[in-house]
C-alpha cells in the first residue's frame, strides 16, 4: 500500500512562480482590486455555486508550528504516516517527525549548493527524489526511507533515470515522471515514462511534443498531465492510460496549468483562472475560486476529502508576504490559514494538519527556510 502519493512540479514556464533560480520577491504593488461582483463559480452536472470574491478571502490567520529549520530548502515535500520528508541544502534528503519535529534524519546528503527544482515521492519502503544541484549529478533516484547506522554521505542510492526528470508521481506498483528532452528546457518537450518498482525496462507512455507541458498525477487507471501551446495560448488537461495508449483531452486551461491533484471524481489544478477542477471523464472547467488578491502565484496544492489547500507567493517589497489558503472542493470564498510566510512552496495534508515548506529569504541566502505545520481548522459546510 502506498503510504503517500505526492507530486512536485518544477521550473515551468507560465504564471506560476516555481523554484527555478530560487525564490524572488513579488511586485511591490498589488493589481487593481477586482470589480464588485467578481465571482468564483462551480458549475457541473450536480450543482452550481456562485460566491462573491471581493477582498480575496476570509478568516483570521493562525500561527503555524515550525517543525524544523531547513536552510536552503528547495521546496519538495512528502508525507507518510509518521514522517514529513523534504530536500534542503544542509540536510540533503531528510525527514522529521510529523508530530514532534525537531530532530532531523538525513537520508542522503546532496551537497550544500542545491538551489532549484526538487521533486519527491514516498511509498512504503522508498523515497524517489531528484534535485538540480551544482554538487550532484542530475537524475531520478531511489533511497531507503529508513535511516541506517552509516553516515548519509556513504549510503548507496539507486539511479532510476540519469536524464533530467521533471514532475514525479507514484502508485503502489510504479513511478511515473516527465523526462525532459533537452536538459531543463521544458519548452522542447519530452516524454512520460513509467518504471515498475520491482525493476525491469522503463516504458514510454506518451511522447510530449507540446511546448510548455507541466505536471502529472495518477489514479488507479490513468495518468493526468497539463499541456499548453504557448504559441497559440491553448492549454488542456489530458489523460493517458497508465499502461499506455491514446491521450484524451479532459478540460481546457487558461494559460499554463500546474500542481495537478485528483480524487475519485475530479482533477484539480491551478491556472490563470484560479483554483480549478474538472470531471476526470471530461467536461467544462469549474473555477473553485479566483486567486486571492494577496496571491501573486500559486506555489502548491493539496487535497483532503472536503477541501483544496494551496500556498501562494505574495506581494510587497519584503519576502515574508506568502500565504496559505483553503477553499471547499465545491467552491466558495477562500479562507486564509496562515500569512507572513517566506516564499512558501510545496504543501501536503493529512487527517489533522496542513504542512508546507518555506524556501527562505534570498536576502539571507535561504538560511531561514523551514518546514511548517498548522492544525486544520474545522471544515466549513460547502455552499449548496
Distance CA 112, CA 131 (A): 12
Distance CA 81, CA 102 (A): 17
Integer-rounded Cα radius of gyration of the chain? 19
Strand order of the β-sheet with 344-349 is 65-69, 370-375, 353-358, 344-349
pLDDT for the residue numbered 258: 78
pLDDT average, residue stretch 51-73: 74
Distance CA 3, CA 336 (A): 28
Residue 19 maps to a domain? no
| DSSP string computed for 9-20 | --S-SSSS--ST
In this predicted model, which residue has the larger pLDDT, 56 or 364?
A: 364
- Over residues 77-126, the pLDDT tens digits come to 999 999 999 998 888 899 999 988 889 999 988 765 555 567 899 998 89
Domain count, the chain: 1
Distance CA 328, CA 53 (A): 14
Q: In this structure, is the dihedral angle defined by the CA atoms of residues 7, 8, 13 and 14, taken in order, positive or negative?
A: positive
Q: Is the pTM of this model over 0.85?
A: no
Residue 380 maps to a domain? no
Residue 111 maps to a domain? yes
Residue 87 maps to a domain? yes
- Domain harbouring 346, CATH code: 2.120.10.30
Distance CA 207, CA 325 (A): 35
Instruction: Decide: 324 and 338 in contact? Cβ < 8 Å.
Output: yes
Mean pLDDT (the chain, rounded): 78
Chain Cα centroid distance, residue 310:
9
pLDDT for the residue numbered 118: 75
Distance CA 150, CA 155 (A): 7
Instruction: Decide: 302 and 311 in contact? Cβ < 8 Å.
Output: no
Residue 210 maps to a domain? yes
Distance CA 121, CA 86 (A): 10
Bridging pattern class, strands 335-341 and 344-349 = unpaired
- Bridge partners (DSSP) of residue 372 are 66, 356
Instruction: Decide: 42 and 48 in contact? Cβ < 8 Å.
Output: yes
- Over residues 21-44, the pLDDT tens digits come to 333 334 333 443 333 333 444 545
In this predicted model, which residue has the larger pLDDT, 315 or 217?
A: 217
- Over residues 243-253, the pLDDT tens digits come to 888 888 899 88
pLDDT for the residue numbered 225: 86
* HEC per residue, 166-223: EEEEECCCEEEEEEECCCCCHHHCEEEEEEECCCCCCEEEEEECCCCCCCEEECCCEE
Distance CA 311, CA 294 (A): 11
Residue 346 maps to a domain? yes
pLDDT for the residue numbered 233: 59
The domain containing residue 269 runs over which residues? 39-375
Instruction: Decide: 351 and 298 in contact? Cβ < 8 Å.
Output: no
pLDDT for the residue numbered 376: 92
Residue 13 maps to a domain? no
Residue 93 maps to a domain? yes
Alpha carbon of 34 to those of 30, 90, 110, 217: distances in Å? Answer: 11, 42, 45, 32
Which range has the worst mean pLDDT, 48-57, 63-72, 293-302, 357-366?
48-57
Q: Which of 257, 248, 242 is nearest to 281 (CA)?
A: 248
pLDDT for the residue numbered 201: 84
Amino acid at each position: 500500500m502506498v503510504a503517500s502519493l505526492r507530486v512536485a512540479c518544477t521550473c515551468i514556464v507560465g504564471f506560476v512562480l516555481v523554484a527555478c533560480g530560487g525564490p524572488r520577491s513579488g511586485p511591490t504593488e498589488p493589481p487593481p482590486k477586482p470589480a464588485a461582483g467578481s465571482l468564483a463559480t462551480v458549475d457541473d452536472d450536480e450543482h452550481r455555486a456562485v460566491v462573491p470574491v471581493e477582498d480575496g478571502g476570509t478568516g483570521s490567520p493562525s500561527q503555524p508550528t515550525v517543525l524544523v529549520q531547513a536552510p536552503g530548502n528547495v521546496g519538495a515535500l512528502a508525507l507518510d504516516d509518521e514522517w514529513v520528508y523534504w530536500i534542503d541544502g544542509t540536510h540533503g534528503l531528510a525527514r522529521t517527525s510529523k508530530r514532534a519535529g525537531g530532530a532531523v534524519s538525513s537520508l542522503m546528503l546532496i551537497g550544500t549548493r542545491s538551489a532549484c527544482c526538487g521533486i519527491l515521492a514516498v511509498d512504503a519502503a522508498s523515497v524517489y527524489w531528484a534535485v538540480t544541484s551544482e554538487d550532484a549529478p542530475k537524475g531520478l533516484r531511489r533511497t531507503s526511507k529508513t535511516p541506517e547506522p552509516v553516515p548519509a554521505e556513504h549510503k548507496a542510492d539507486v539511479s532510476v533515470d540519469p536524464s533530467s526528470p521533471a514532475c514525479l508521481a507514484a502508485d503502489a506498483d510504479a513511478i511515473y515522471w516527465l523526462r525532459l528532452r533537452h536538459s531543463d528546457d521544458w519548452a522542447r518537450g519530452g516524454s512520460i515514462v513509467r518504471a515498475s518498482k520491482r525493476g525491469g525496462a522503463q516504458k514510454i507512455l506518451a511522447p510530449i511534443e507540446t511546448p510548455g507541458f507541466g505536471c502529472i498525477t495518477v489514479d488507479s487507471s490513468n495518468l493526468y498531465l497539463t499541456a499548453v501551446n504557448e504559441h497559440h495560448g491553448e492549454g488542456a488537461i489530458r489523460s493517458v492510460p497508465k499502461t499506455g495508449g491514446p491521450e484524451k483531452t479532459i478540460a481546457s486551461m487558461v494559460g499554463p496549468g500546474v500542481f495537478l491533484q485528483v480524487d475519485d471524481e475530479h482533477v484539480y489544478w491551478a491556472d490563470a483562472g484560479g483554483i480549478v477542477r474538472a470531471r476526470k471523464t471530461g467536461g467544462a472547467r469549474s473555477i473553485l475560486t479566483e486567486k486571492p488578491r494577496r496571491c501573486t502565484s500559486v506555489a502548491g496544492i493539496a487535497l483532503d476529502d472536503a477541501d483544496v489547500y494551496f500556498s501562494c507567493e505574495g506581494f510587497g517589497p519584503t519576502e515574508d508576504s506568502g500565504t496559505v489558503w483553503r477553499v471547499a472542493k465545491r467552491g466558495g470564498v477562500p479562507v486564509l490559514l496562515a500569512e507572513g510566510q517566506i516564499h512558501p512552496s510545496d504543501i501536503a495534508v493529512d487527517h489533522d494538519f496542513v504542512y508546507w515548506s518555506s524556501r527562505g529569504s534570498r536576502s539571507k541566502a535561504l538560511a531561514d527556510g523551514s518546514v511548517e505545520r498548522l492544525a486544520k481548522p474545522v471544515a466549513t459546510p460547502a455552499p449548496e
